[in-house]
Structure 1
Amino acid sequence: MSRPQLHPRTKVFWLRRRVPADLVAAVGRKEVTLSLGTKDPAEAKRRFSEELAKLEARWAALRQGSRSLTEIEAHGLAREVHDWWLQKHQANPSEQSFWRTDLGGKLWAALPAADARTLLADFLHGSFDPERQSAREMKAWCVQTAERLLGTRGLIVDEVGRERLAKAVAAAVQRASLALARYAQGEFDGVPVVATTQALSLAVSKEQKAVSFEELVKGWAAEKHPAPKTLYEWKRVIGQFAAFLGHEDAARLTPDDVIRWKEALIAEGLSPKTISDGKLVAVRTILQWGADNRRLTNNPAERVRMNAKRKAAETIRGFSDEEAAIVLRAALGEADPVLRWVPWLCAYSGARVSEVCQLRREDVRQIEGIWCMKFDPEAGPLKTASSERAVPLHQALLDSGFLTFARSVASGPLFADLRPDKFGKRGGNGTKVLGRWVRGLGLTDERLAPNHSWRHRVKTLGRRYRLASDIVNAITGHGTRTVADQYGEFEMAALHRELMKIPALVSSSSA
């Protein structure tokens, strides 16, 4: 199941997931069930996402099989233990008594593992050594902590890798404890601290209370009012990030955590643009809101970037005249209103497919005596403030019978049979339908975006036929570039005059 299930008797939500067939033997059962420990639907969804990510990570690790860890990888994993240990004890560093720095650097050199019988025998024979006992406890703690680190990430590691991670944990806590010893003496990075409240606040930040990612997302969303799709996608990204970390506390984050995540995304084979714009931007923005609103002391992702420059061969291009003609002629023969009219409306306006798909009967109107289509936020969400606009209908659309089609709709959406997606946008499903249809016409060049390439084409035609650049921006809904562009009005007659400089490419009589 893809959502939490409510137990009929206890009313507590559960996770149920069928084990993939290839893993049944390794897991030992066909289905995994796990109580989410809550009756709150919203909390259940959050815990479900977190537990499902952990479960799928464990399954992925099972498929990959046992692996080892390099020393560098082990130290990278152990870095969060270092930061957690410092944070846990930084307010009162002298009270840290478990980790003895005089023993921390020689745990594996000094002691073999000892079981309870060995310790009892030492005690009975009078050879019990408290120092050896402390070292054994520290070493056992490192081994257990390493196991927890592996468990939260679903990693299956061989004995060599597990020992390397346990040693890395010891090294991390040793470094942190040495730093705490200096803090206890009033020294930070070797610099004595002036005993004033102001100096102390500069040297040691106050202990940061836990701040959940969910709290930050809710605060950011309440202030910024993002589009539903953006909020959905960013929540999903933040959930993936938390699953990778193995915890929900944004206050524990370090820049190294964000860098480790970026490196993991690169290793998964995600494109630079996806990592930069689809992943890092979401995390960086949410954390920045937390820092700006004093939920966090800083933004650990502030300087973490991904070079996402596209190569020339990867950039989207507009339809050529020949390609545009293929699409427009094919549309003439379609009975489905979406396939018949949306490509033509985009071709002669440069409008976004999402804008066209949500047009209503009342949005096709005369303004200043000129037939136009108006992109109104009441019809559905628009990408930017400049996207709200009216665009004259090109003569090719009038000659092709678009007004007759529009008048045939009594009221409401022109493309009522196009089902809205989960965000209430007809453009989501319209993009999929049109994309498959255009590719089916043989236009398979990956640089062609079946829908967005119309916007690129209109820009190209604007240059070819010398349309005024500010008017082309007003037609396509691009924002103004200079303060001067914001002066004056864009009269419909001026928009119509410039748009009509673009000649009709296909006659409606060619169907």
Structure 2
Amino acid sequence: MASPMRRKGSTFIQFRKRIPKDVLSKVGGVTLAIPIGDEVSHVVVGANAAEITCSLRTRDPREAKERHTSAAAYLDSVWQSVREGPKRLTQKQIAALAGEAYRSPVALFEDDPGNPFIWKQIDRLHAEAMEGGEASREQWFGETVDQILARHHLVVDTESRFALIEAAGKAVVEASARLGRNAEGDYSPDTVERRFPPLELRKGAKAASPLPQGSQTITGLAEGWWREAKAAGRAVSTHESYQRVAQQLSEFLGHDDARAVTEDDVIAFKDHRLSQGVSLKTIGGGDISGIRQLYAWGIANRKVDHNPAKGVKVAKVKKKRTRDPGFTDEEAVAILSDAFHHRRTGKASGHLSSARRWVPWLCAYSGARVGEMVQLRKQDLRQENGLWIMRITPEAGTVKTGKYRDVPLHQHLLEQGFPDFVSKAADGYLFMKVTGDTMEAQRGAWRTTKNRVRDFVREIVKDPEVQPNHAWRHRFMTIGRNLEIAQDVRFSITGHTTKDEGADYGDKTVDAKAAAIAKYPRYEVRSLE
């Protein structure tokens, strides 16, 4: 089938596509690493399978369509690789791909690597895995290699895969050793990274010349930009976006030499993304804008001497609006009633059940972003001068403006027992279960909870013209405007910014915000009978 579908017995939308007849006899037993959003779904093709099916892990039709397009593009490239036969990787290609296994953990942890003892333990475990034989290396590094190959849509022969596992394992050992030295304060020049050559894959692609001392890679621009941007307090989500587009551009061109990229290359990349079904908004506001910003940083830091994306234009889409972007009265009451009556059942996650119960109500009475609410921690709620106040802070995770704000709770939330729920909760996040101490673990848990809340809402409000994670903000601002609440007070509650510098002068006190929130009418819960 050429479009997402729903499978009986599951609320998630499914991916389903037939295997072309000319490759049917060649793919039995092949393990596919299908990209699904930010994750990879491993699917083993059965001996008699006629189609590929897997969950798209979302209930949102728009997101499902994008994920379906990406998965289909991956499979098309795999089928083509099967027709041509498994590729044998050259030694240089293996070294280049192993470099990705090295750079990823180094880029993620080198700024704040934590305790040196932990890295010594990780280094020991990795070294033991390398010494444990083929089965041990497969167990420890096989999935990493599969993800790297999937990222490049590669099907390789068995010998090449084993060689890449060996090389990637050595690279990971070197990465953990490097991070161990960083944790002890040693940030001497990274001589290991230089040994990994740029990746060259595309047939007929112009080979990139070896990178001389002081030059830069495309993916390296993203890493360098983030080291500086992180210190300046830029959002992690921006880093993820820039890192992703740098990797995609590098893969498309078949090399990673930032100097060799031309304006024609960027235009070709834009056309390629259009052919994948990616929206103009994503291409213009995400892809091309990201490349432009990375090269601007590279020029400012003398890494490159040109910006190939500077003159590339993407047509702006004039969006047709057929309804208000905020929830209607009926939609709002339906969502909040479902949340109010929700109870945890069976083996359901306690954190996700709590999110379903409370996050819609918190958004309804604050106009906060869903992502800001799902990362609330126990210590972010306090009582002060008779008011219950929640603090939305970048210390908890992602806040778009990078600034904290205090938001008083609506009286209706107090009557429902939200402070009592918080007081009984364990320390830490109220709605997320984070496994591990890394930023990656926190971001993964954050995305999971945010997406589940969106899915809960989408079960009730199916209109694709409404964004489940943003409609509360529109509704909150509309009601506030109707109540004639001053714009600067509304903005201080919701975290909106203004181009009027004068509006930022003076404090918007908690008392002023509490008085404004008290004006918002209560939502009357209806019975679900």
User: Normalised by the shorter chain, which TM-score bucket?
Assistant: 0.5 to 0.7
Tell me by how many angstroms 1:34 deviates. 6.7
Deviation at 1:316, TM superposition (A): 7.5
Instruction: Identify the residue that residue 313 of structure 1 maps to in structure 2.
Output: 321
363, 369, 375: which is aligned to 2:380?
Answer: 363
Would you say the 8 A contact 2:327–2:475 is kept in 1? yes
Q: What's the counterpart of residue 396 of structure 1?
A: 412
Q: Is the 8 A contact 1:361 1:411 kept in 2?
A: yes
TM superposition score normalised by structure 2? 0.59
CA distance in 1, matches of 2:326, 2:484: 17
Larger Rg: 1
Quote the RMSD (CA, aligned, Å).
3.6
In the TM superposition, what is the alpha-carbon distance from 1:365 to its structure 2 partner? 0.8
Give the direction of change, closer, same or farther, for the CA distance of 1:396–1:308 in structure 2 (3 Å limit).
Answer: farther
Partner of residue 457, structure 1:
475
- Inter-partner Cα distance in structure 1 for 2:260 and 2:266: 11
**Could you tell me how far apart the structure 1 residues matched to 2:370 and 2:515 are?**
24
Pick one of 491, 507, 513 that aligns with 1:489: 507
Whether 2:83 is the aligned partner of 1:26: answer yes
1:432 alignment counterpart: 451
The correspondence of residues 28-427 of structure 1 with structure 2, limited to 5 A, is 28=85, 36-38=93-95, 42-44=99-101, 52=150, 54-56=152-154, 150-152=203-205, 210-225=215-230, 226-313=234-321, 317-335=325-343, 336-386=353-403, 388-417=404-433, 422-425=440-443, 426-427=445-446
Correspondence for 1:506: 524
Structure 1 contact 17–32 (Cα < 8 Å) conserved: no
Distance 1:340 1:453 in 2: 18
Shift of 1:150: 4.1
Asked if the contact 2:434/2:442 (under 8 Å) is kept, the reply is no
Structure 1 unpaired stretches of 5+: 4-15, 59-147, 154-206
Counterparts of 1:212 and 1:2, CA distance in 2: 29
1:454-505 deviation per Cα after TM superposition (whole angstroms, max 9, x unaligned): 1111111111111111001000011243122121111111101111111012
CA–CA separation in structure 2 for the residues paired with 1:454 and 1:507: 17
1:337 Cα deviation from its structure 2 partner: 1.2
Aligned residues: 354
**Contiguous gaps of at least 5 residues in structure 2:** 1-30, 34-41, 46-74, 105-144, 157-200, 207-211, 344-352
2:82, 2:155 within 8 Å by CA — same for their partners in 1?
A: no
Encode CA deviations 1:137-160: one digit per residue, 9 max, x unaligned. Answer: xxxxxxxxxxx974449xxxxxxx
Deviations 1:32-66 (A, max 9, x none): 777654499654466978865554599xxxxxxxx
Letter in structure 2 aligned against 1:219 = G
Q: Aligned-pair distance for 1:346?
A: 0.5
Separation in structure 2 between the aligned mates of residue 439 and residue 256 of structure 1, nearest angstrom: 41
User: Matched residues in 2 for 1:212 and 1:17: separation?
Assistant: 33
CA distance in 2, matches of 1:432, 1:24: 34
Q: Is the 8 A contact 1:339 1:434 kept in 2?
A: yes
Which deviates further from its counterpart, 313-322 or 245-254?
A: 313-322
Q: CA deviation at 1:270?
A: 1.4
1:164 equivalent in structure 2:
none
The change in CA–CA distance for 1:502 and 1:510 in structure 2 (over 3 A counts) is farther
CA drift of 1:345 comes to 0.4
Letter of the 1:401 counterpart: G
1:234 Cα offset (Å): 1.9
For the 8 Å contact 1:349–1:476, the answer to whether it is kept is yes
Cα-to-partner distance string for 1:389-437 (whole Å, 9 max, x where unaligned): 1101011111222122112124322225477994513431122111221
Are 2:465 and 1:447 aligned?
yes
1:401–1:291 distance in 2 versus 1, CA, 3 Å: same
Distance in 1, matches of 2:291 and 2:323, equals 26
Provide Cα deviations, 1:255-298, integer angstroms capped at 9, x if missing partner.
12211211222232211111012211111111111112222222
Cα separation, partners in 2 of 1:51 and 1:344, compared to 1, 3 Å: closer
Q: Is the contact between residue 333 and residue 526 of structure 2 (CA under 8 Å) also seen in structure 1?
A: no
Q: Give the Cα–Cα distance (whole angstroms) in 1 for the partners of residues 373 and 522 of structure 2.
A: 19
For residues 326-356 of structure 1, the C-alpha deviation after alignment (integer angstroms, 9 at most, x for no partner) is 0001111112211110100000001111111
Q: Identity of aligned pairs, percent?
A: 35
Using a 3 Å threshold, how does the CA distance of structure 1 residues 34 and 506 change in structure 2: closer, same or farther? farther
Report the TM-score, using the length of structure 1 for normalisation. 0.61
Sort the Cα spacing of 1:314 and 1:271 in 2 relative to 1 into closer, same or farther, 3 A: farther
